[in-house]
Chain A
Amino acid sequence: MAGNLRARLARIREAAAEPQRPVPIHQASDDIATFPEGWETIGHGLRFHESVRRNDAMAPPHAAIDLAIFSARLSGTIEAGNLLFFDLETTGLSGGAGTVAFLAAFGSLRADGSLSIRQYFMDDYPFEPALIAAMGDEFARAGAVVSYNGSSFDLPLYAVRRTMVGLGPAPDLLHADALHAARRLWRRSMPDCSLACLEAAALGVRRVGDIPGSEVPTVWFDFLRVGPSDRLARVFAHNEQDIASLAALAFAVHDAAHGRRELPSVDAVGLAELRSRVDEALAERTLTAALEAGDARATRPLMRLYRRTGRCGEIAPLVPFLPDDPAGLFSKSVYAERRLRDRREALRLAELAEELGRGALRDRAARRAARLRAGQTAFR
């Protein structure tokens, strides 16, 4: 059958006649036929570009950065100048063995407080080992790395690529994913927590001529087939801006957590959670203020904070402020019975909790309501 496979494939393809991906027309006036400026070749098929930005949004390079703000699993501080911000541009989002990173950007603060952004770009697939090795060198110099969604995308992809080019497992990295902290602050107020959305809302960054992330793979494929274009330069700019925004956002979140900076549209409960990792007193003030402003969601974190700090006597008075969800109603029923000695109100709340609740909570509420009802008839 091998003999006629080619003929059969040809016939099938003819019949399917799928529209071919249009080859971009190279003669458009704003296209540039040469590689974007400022790039130098640093190895076989590997290019390098560095830019330096002065920016008030950055922390001083010797400032101590609390890693716990970015992840509850981390602790300790690190000098701002030892942080490495990074971001990859890839041929797809699947993360499978056929998804490749072709462009990597790294950012770090220099001694003078400016932000250095270093980008590495591979000219074609066979040069991937050089790109991955360059990334490994960057990581090796870092005290900790900061990414945006790196824990579920960029770092696993980096690990896969290391395997694919035969470099072996990546050494352990101290990694802070800024997306997690950002979600705590803006999940409730922003349509999404993408970096593009937050940099506009929180940092006032306006990108000009940016290329949407979804078009990035196509630009790379087109580069491979027809060479550099204006769109490639825009991908470079996009990737560079991602690092600048990531660094600015990370420092902004860090400052906000320390109460040194106000950020727009921030959820107070989320902010208090970040603050509680570095400053319990500040977190308490944040929660109390939120509660006073009528945010019932602040009640539970405040109760937990009191428990953590051994102020158990202050917990019970907070019960009336709990939200009217099934668990809140249940607690309020207990409170009404024991503190207020109002069994009728306690029953009403227990019944409500039973009605709205599910699973084990509903069963407990049902038992409580039954007991209260029985007690009521016994009294009469």
Chain B
Amino acid sequence: MIEEDAIDPVDRFLSDPELAPNIAFVRRVPAAPASWAELPERLDDGLRAALDSRGVERLYSHQRAAWDAVGAGMDIVVVTPTASGKTLCYNLPVAQALIDDPEARALYLFPTKALSQDQQAELNALVLGGDLPIKAATYDGDTPQSTRKAARDSGRIVISNPDMLHSGILPNHAKWIRFFAGLRYIVVDEMHAYRGVFGSHVANVFRRLLRVAAYYGASPRFILCSATIGNPAELATALIGRPVVAITDNGAPRAPKAVVFYNPPLVDPVQGIRRSSADESMSLAAKLLASGTRTILFARSRLRVEILASYLNKRFENVYNDNNRIRVEPYRSGLLPNERRQIERGLRDGSIHGVVSTNALELGIDIGGLDAAVIAGWPGNLASFWQQAGRAGRRSGASMAVYVASSSPVDQYMIEHPERCFGSAAENARIDPDNPYIYADHVKCAAFELPFAKEERFGSDPGAVLSFLEEEGTVRLAAGRYYWSDSGYPAEKISLRSATADNVVIIDTTAGRNEVLGEMDRPSAKELVFDDAVYIHRGRQFIVLKLDIENRQCLVEERETNYYTDAVVKTDIKVLSEDERLGSAALPIVLGDLLVRSSAEKFKKLRFHTNENIGYGEIYLPPEEMQTRAIALLFPEGGAAGSALAAMGDGERAAALSAFCGILRALSPVELLCDKGDIGATWRLRDDHYAVPAVYVWDRYPGGTGLAEALSSSLVPVLEAASGRIAACDCDDGCPSCVGLADDALQATGRRKSGGLALVRLALEALDGSSRSGR
């Protein structure tokens, strides 16, 4: 696709005079040779032949290491970049085990259905290539009733996803006797996807899986695969509840790639405002597409994806040369399966030249090699960054990944610290399998699956949940066992993916249509698709006619507008428990439960392109209330930070606290594997509960997913990043790239940036000794 001229397209891009001044950093990642290892001696002849027919005569060193570790009976996690032959890491030992023992079975789990379809094709190629007697069967929501029984009875390898395991397979385990009795290996691909809420659920699904397997006398081993994260072994251990060996040395060769960091020019140095990363990314993508470079543009939100795709298509619509055939499609979560498949096909067959995506495409769906990836805004973590960058040039040849920073503090921090991308400083993934909501839900499911013996081990404290369930009448204690005693089927009410199982369905009612556009969880719906909100779906604009929370429906109608909408969310908090005191006397940090009540009472109408505020509207919805985990940072007068605050005037104190809170929330994701949206934060001049100035940071999932705990032990590096970012920021007195903007009253003090920085530095001094030694 890239034109066959003498100049390397990467060089041409870098030397473009319009772009050059904004290129903050370029790293050409050179090609790397493979590190080889011999095929294992014990390998079955049929398998050897199958490999041979695919031209595999040797293994990469990490594939061999995986084979050896699995052979030694260990649970392993293989950490590999995109296109490094990870599937052989599990296919080889699994196929060998299934050949050795005709009763043996394996379960493959992928986080999405599309991935499992790719996997079945891959497996069939390996297995049928050598005519091996191993049948792989996909068992998910799309598997027709008529073939389910065959999959259950004769599938030696069952390919599924955690949701199906949770709601379809485990509750019906008695129909899977042979499968569970023979279960030897559980393969978990894309392990890094199992973090936060989803991971906390999946860890419990694994507890149930192992419990059912044990009932049938099986003790399967795990083979997990993950993209680069900071703590693969730790996450794997948390997920499966026992120690896991990590294999991290990648033996696969690498094609050359240029990684470019692009910082949009400052338009207002005083306010620290840069040109929008979305607009800049779009023009970069347009430039690349126009020159024939097949490009994928990653945006961070569904909304952005829709807006960018429609801009790009409009842009090429009016070009009356060869370019008018350029087609760009939006691809994001919330699309219906057939819409997705259409786009995937178009990318593969070349009828679609560019795609704008959210991280939905991160998960290894094979769309063929693209030439360039443009990443609009920091994707939140290194694993995502490298997966998105890896979308360009999967096979060979020069390719390019361009990271376009936004004005946000994390984005600017990354522009200043490109070495983080190439070093070993990946973020840590967290889960909390003992989140009381999640845990209680899975104890219920487990009780449905098999009666609980009174002393049975299952997670942290099954007895606590079971005695509640017994009082409620959901389980019955008889002869030392808890029996499920309810007519319901608990798994169907529990979604592994969202905070609440009750998703709102968005329905297009334009001109009598009655068409489902997508789904959204309830709390998000309240903030995004309230009455009169603008909802954008595949480049089309809709107005919300009615959000009917009770019936879980949102009726929309297609209508062109020149604005989009943004809810103004208000938050109240109440301390429920003080579970752990950390930090120091000068800066106590309290970990505990918090009640958070958020309500959206009005919304802003913002003009497209300019983001100019052109009006307000009212929202009439009941507030959302939740209990979650939080940390509170306290500033008593006895500490240096507290006494500095005490010495300030009221306005100045508020400005400093708000700035401190703003940068803390913004930069926490630098250390935690989470989105900014996964945590909430607020500050109090004089806290009702602690009677001193305080800053709260909480996990936005009910009951918490480990983020509050993780932050309590990562505060020092987060504060270090914060102090660096504020000091380096070009702005006058606080901007979206550092401590954020505030309302006029706080802004008027003129001391936000200095006050915030002082507070961050004093907090660091107060924590330095205590936290650092604890890390």
Contacts and interface: CB of A to CB of B under 8 A. Distances in A.
Interface of A: 1-2, 4-9, 11-13, 15, 20-21, 91-100, 124-126, 156, 159-160, 163-164, 217-218, 221, 224-225
A11 B627 contact: yes
Query: Which of B174, B579, B593, B627: most chain A Cβ within 10 A?
Result: B174
6 contacts: A96-B448, A98-B171, A124-B476, A124-B478, A164-B450, A221-B473
B436 A92 contact: no
Given A11-B627, A98-B484, A5 B437 contact: no
B454 to A, nearest CB: 13
Contacts of B432: 1
B172 A96 contact: yes
Interface stretch (B1-9, B192-200, B485-493, B513-521): B485-493
A92 B577 contact: no
B368 to A, nearest CB: 33
A7 B592 CA distance: 12
B177 interface: yes
B439 interface: yes
A100 B447 CA distance: 13
A91 B484 CA distance: 10
B703 A97 contact: no
Contacts of B486: 91-92, 98, 221
| 3 smallest beta-carbon distances between A and B, as pairs | A98-B448, A98-B484, A92-B487
Given A5-B464, A6-B464, A97 B473 contact: no
B489 A91 contact: no
A99 B175 CA distance: 13
A12 B435 CA distance: 11
Nearest to B709: A1
A91 B172 contact: no
Given A97-B448, A124-B478, A2 B627 contact: no
Contacts of B473: 20-21, 221, 225
A94 B447 CA distance: 15
B171 A20 contact: no
B262 interface: no
Given A9-B464, A159-B174, A160-B172, 12 more contacts: A5-B464, A12-B627, A20-B473, A92-B487, A94-B171, A94-B489, A96-B449, A98-B484, A98-B486, A100-B484, A160-B174, A217-B487
B461 A5 contact: yes
A97 B174 contact: yes
A100 B174 CA distance: 13
Interface residues of B, number: 45
B437 A96 contact: no
Given A5-B460, A21-B473, A125-B451, A12 B172 contact: no
Nearest to B492: A94
A21 B474 CA distance: 10
Contacts of B468: 9, 13
Nearest to B595: A15
Given A8-B593, A12-B627, A91 B173 contact: no
Nearest to A91: B487
Given A96-B171, A224-B476, A11 B576 contact: yes
A141 B483 CA distance: 31
A125 B171 CA distance: 18
Interface in B485-524: 485-491
B724 to A, nearest CB: 33
A15 B449 CA distance: 28
A304 to B, nearest CB: 25
A100 B481 CA distance: 15
A97 B576 CA distance: 38
Contacts of B745: none
Contacts of B447: 98
Nearest to B579: A4
A5 B174 contact: no
B472 A126 contact: no
B373 interface: no
A176 B439 CA distance: 44
Query: Which of A98, A124, A163, A217: most chain B Cβ within 10 A?
Result: A98
B431 interface: no
Interface in B70-115: none
A8 B702 CA distance: 12
Contacts of A93: 487
A7 B461 contact: no
Interface string B441-463: 00000011111000000001100
B485 A221 contact: yes
B465 interface: yes
B461 A6 contact: yes
A12 B703 contact: yes
Contacts of B439: 5
B344 interface: no
Nearest to A10: B468
Contacts of A159: 174
B174 A125 contact: no
A305 to B, nearest CB: 29
A7 B576 CA distance: 10
A221 B486 CA distance: 8
B624 to A, nearest CB: 13
Contacts of B577: 4, 7-8, 11
Contacts of B465: 5, 9
A98 B449 contact: yes
Contact of A125 (B173, B481, B593): B481
A217 B476 CA distance: 14
Nearest to A166: B215
A163 B487 contact: no
Interface string B295-333: 000000000000000000000000000000000000000
A1 B592 CA distance: 11
B627 A15 contact: yes
A21 to B, nearest CB: 6
Contacts of B489: 92, 94, 96, 98-99
Contacts of B576: 11
A96 B464 CA distance: 25
B178 to A, nearest CB: 10
B150 interface: no
B440 interface: yes
B479 interface: yes
A224 B485 contact: yes
Contacts of B478: 124-126, 224
A94 B172 CA distance: 9
A97 B450 contact: yes
Nearest to B460: A2
Contacts of A125: 451, 476, 478-479, 481, 483, 485
B163 interface: no
B434 interface: yes
B486 to A, nearest CB: 7
A27 to B, nearest CB: 20
B19 to A, nearest CB: 50
Contacts of B450: 97, 164
Contacts of A20: 472-473
A20 B472 CA distance: 7
B449 A97 contact: yes
Contact of B436 (A9, A99, A100, A225): A9
Contact of A12 (B437, B484, B487): B437
Given A97-B449, A98-B449, A98-B484, A164 B472 contact: no
A160 B175 contact: yes
